[in-house]
Structure 1
Amino acid sequence: MSDRTILIVGTYDTKDDELNYLAEVIRGQGGGVMTMDVSVLGDPSAPCDISKHAVAEAGGHSIQKAIDGGDENLAMQIMAKGSALLAARLQAEGRIDGVIVLGGTMGTDLALDLCSALPLGVPKYIVSTVSFSPLIPPERLPADVQMILWAGGLYGLNSVCKASLSQAAGAVLGAARAVERPDRTRPLIGMTSFGKTVLRYMVALKPALEERGFEVAVFHATGMGGRAFESLAAEGAFAAVMDFAPQEVGNHLMGSTISAGADRMTNAGRSGTPQIVSIGCYDLVDFVGWQDAPARLAGQEQHAHNRLLSSVMMTADQRREMAQTICGKLAGADGPVVLILPLQGGNEWDRPGGPLSDPEGLEAFIAEIRAQCPANVQLVELDAHINDPAFAETALEVFDGWQAGGALRRA
């Protein structure tokens, strides 16, 4: 008897040998296998557990309609929709414990939809010819997806691609055996931040919230951290969020590739999750350190954080635009929103006399927040810095009021 079952997904008409090899490795390690064919034109050498016909029907069409459309992109989107729905159903029914999807650009496009349909904690592996590629936008990546480059595997098996395939097969089975799924017995608070040298509120807030019976997950707001935060917010996984580090909003606004997607700072509001928000590192735009700065930031002073990451300080006009964008995103929220505005600054470096101090820029941002703050947002101005104890104390006062009044979301 196998202890864990892995769903193997791919186009069995063109990648039959590779997909069957994955199954052999998983079975050889004592795992179970379920197979799903997402081909359109051809057929596998042997029937799969879930046929391409079943996948297409789940996607709202027949295989023949997908073929008759004459567009391989639209055909694969049909298969992506169907495979995602079926995979989610299989997982919810307890019939699979993890998934591995194999493909080139077509298969990867499908794999991203399929893996996004599975909850956090379900092992998701994509073996792709474009792993780690800039072709993949951050908003398409599930919070805990794993990818491995399908090296040397464009056509047929060989010792090079077997090294990639066998690693992936072992990894997904090992993950399915070892994973500790999120424990939802305690309500979860989602918080965004950077490291303690820049933003410090979580040092006080995390233990205080835990004493109140909540679990706290702090997300590093450098693109993928914000993406994971948004993915969970969209699921309604949080009782409340403390979104205190909106820098990814500015990154996206200014054209940086370090982005959590266009929907950053919107999914908690869409799911009705209560939000306490603030301005941590609002004035900085991060970009990939080994690339040129985004065109909108050309000529502005840069600071190299390390070889991977550099930052640019926003001008006063750019800060006004950032304020407008934040307020616009919060205006669409269905749940309660409190914006805590620390009037003395939003990161450790912008304190008076600090290396990034810009009183005029800060005042321009504050004035625009005041002018643009939407009616559904309670603006709390605080004559303190975001790293002062008063900030964390104010956030807790808001939170405690919500808890006492029954406003927190029940996941």
Structure 2
Amino acid sequence: MAGVLLLGTCDTKLDELLFLRDAIKKSSPAVHVVLIDVGRQPVEHEAITYTQKQLLKDHGESKDLGDLPRGEVIKFMANCATKPVKQLYERGDVHGIISAGGSGGTSLASTVMRDALPLGFPKLIVSTVASGDTGPIVEETDITLMYSVVDVAGLNQLLKNVLSNAGAAIAGMATSYYSRKTSESSPSTKRVGVTMFGVTTPAVDAIRTHLESKYKIETYVFHATGHGGKAMERLIREGGLDAVLDLTTTEICDNLTGGVMSAGPTRLDAALEAGIPNIISVGATDMTNFGPRTTVPEKYEDRLLYEHNPVVTLMRTSREEAKAVGEFIAQKIKGSMNKGITTQVWLPKGGVSMISEPGGPFADAEADNALFDAIKTGLAHTAIRVVDDKRAINDPGFAIDIAEALVEEMGIDD
């Protein structure tokens, strides 16, 4: 039987949560619902599977929440709930999770979903803030958000319709997930993550086609938008990838210069820590990303800017910034070598993106050479293979050769 985990604050949303519970069961009578109360105040009700009092006793040292600020309560209860949710998942007792609430409840539920559950597990939140800036809620995960339209504060016909839709949705997702999990076997094909940006798409398309057609390798392409890089690294840590071709490391530029597509300072760590076959290149490191032209910080007004589209403005990486990117990559790799981790770095000297090739708007040999030199200097006298290649990153031959290098690292025969 498929199970759905319903997470909510019963001290403030009990009626709405009970309606949602009934909506799930009406939609799929065979689905069982586990209700966990994560509210500030304890509530007793027969429908609550895991009470707030029991949650605090088992995972919160029976802490008194009375004097804690609201924000601290949310963090504390999220931490408490993460543990039983993870246990329920690992035992195979639940196959989907849902919550409904305002900004506080959404913050709590999304934290639990991100921290306790893997990618691919059904996650749904009915939220009053689902139509706003959802980046901090979803981050690099696959949480599905449904806007409640009205506040989750009293049952009216509109909210009933929304909650009924949500109940039917999570019941269907959980049933499908349960069916897949009970019938699937271990992956029979190798799984490779590849990073891509619009300006490295031709290379990634060629790599993907080559790996899939010649070796039957399943490719997972991650858009290097910040969340994309973090999603790939989350999947690596979950054991969902066998190798990585990190072709497009542009997110490092944004991390160092304050762009809007940073994956943070831990970028590159996951594959190096996992010790899986891993080839790194420098795709799109000629740019930092900002939003519309009017959003570019004033300190960058005099820099070379390029409007990629109406909502994305690119800033050409300077010589100093390119050097810093190269040093970042080299330091990350060197830091992993004492664990016996090895990798390769490929440098496409004919252009690191389609707009930095000779004659392109971002062509800047001095900046590119600063990038290449920083990597080679940083990795000098190590066992790391650094490949100087005269071709551009989007050259079809470069794409095939770097793909073949990864296949060799994976130990796959023709």
* TM tier relative to shorter chain: 0.7 to 0.9
- Residue 340 of structure 1 deviates from its aligned partner by 0.6
One-letter amino acid of the structure 2 residue matched with residue 121 of structure 1? G
SS state of the match for residue 244, structure 1? strand
Question: 1:203 is matched with which residue: 178, 202, 205?
Answer: 205
Partner of 2:15: 17
CA distance in structure 2 between the partners assigned to 1:161 and 1:96 by the alignment: 25
CA distance in structure 2 between the partners assigned to 1:358 and 1:56 by the alignment: 59
CA distance in structure 1 between the partners assigned to 2:162 and 2:263 by the alignment: 28
- Residue 304 of structure 1 deviates from its aligned partner by 2.4
1:124–1:146 contact (8 Å) kept in structure 2? yes
TM-score, scaled to structure 2? 0.87
- 1:345-402 Cα deviation digits (max 9, x unpaired): 1111111112321222212222222222374643221121111233224323432332
Partner of 1:129: 128
TM-score, scaled to structure 1? 0.87
Residues 388 and 310 (structure 1), Cα distance of their counterparts in 2 relative to 1, 3 Å cut: same
- 1:249-296 Cα deviation digits (max 9, x unpaired): 212222123333332222212222231010111111122227611455
- 1:24-49 Cα deviation digits (max 9, x unpaired): 22122124322111123231544511
Residues 309 and 393 (structure 1), Cα distance of their counterparts in 2 relative to 1, 3 Å cut: same
Partner of 1:189: 192
Residues 157 and 351 (structure 1), Cα distance of their counterparts in 2 relative to 1, 3 Å cut: same
Q: Does 1:52 align with 2:55?
A: no
What percentage of residue pairs aligned between the two structures are identical? 29
Partner of 1:120: 119
- Residue 338 of structure 1 deviates from its aligned partner by 0.8
Residues 296 and 340 (structure 1), Cα distance of their counterparts in 2 relative to 1, 3 Å cut: farther
1:193–1:221 contact (8 Å) kept in structure 2? yes
CA distance in structure 2 between the partners assigned to 1:75 and 1:62 by the alignment: 14
2:195–2:222 contact (8 Å) kept in structure 1? yes
> Which ranges of structure 2 fall in alignment gaps of 5 or more residues?
none
- Residue 130 of structure 1 deviates from its aligned partner by 2.9
CA distance in structure 2 between the partners assigned to 1:173 and 1:35 by the alignment: 14
Residues 114 and 399 (structure 1), Cα distance of their counterparts in 2 relative to 1, 3 Å cut: same
- Residue 79 of structure 1 deviates from its aligned partner by 2.1
Q: Does 1:354 align with 2:354?
A: no
CA distance in structure 1 between the partners assigned to 2:231 and 2:133 by the alignment: 18
- 1:288-345 Cα deviation digits (max 9, x unpaired): 2276114553332332222332222122222122222222333333532211111121
2:123–2:143 contact (8 Å) kept in structure 1? yes
- Residue 189 of structure 1 deviates from its aligned partner by 0.7
> Which ranges of structure 1 fall in alignment gaps of 5 or more residues?
407-411
SS state of the match for residue 199, structure 1? helix
- Residue 170 of structure 1 deviates from its aligned partner by 2.7
Q: Does 1:264 align with 2:267?
A: yes
One-letter amino acid of the structure 2 residue matched with residue 90 of structure 1? L
**What CA RMSD, in Å, does the superposition of the two structures yield over aligned residues?**
2.7
- Return 106-115 or 65-74, whichever deviates more: 65-74
Residues 122 and 307 (structure 1), Cα distance of their counterparts in 2 relative to 1, 3 Å cut: same
Which has the larger helix fraction?
A: 2
Residues 146 and 342 (structure 1), Cα distance of their counterparts in 2 relative to 1, 3 Å cut: same
One-letter amino acid of the structure 1 residue matched with residue 56 of structure 2? A
Partner of 1:409: none
2:8–2:39 contact (8 Å) kept in structure 1? yes
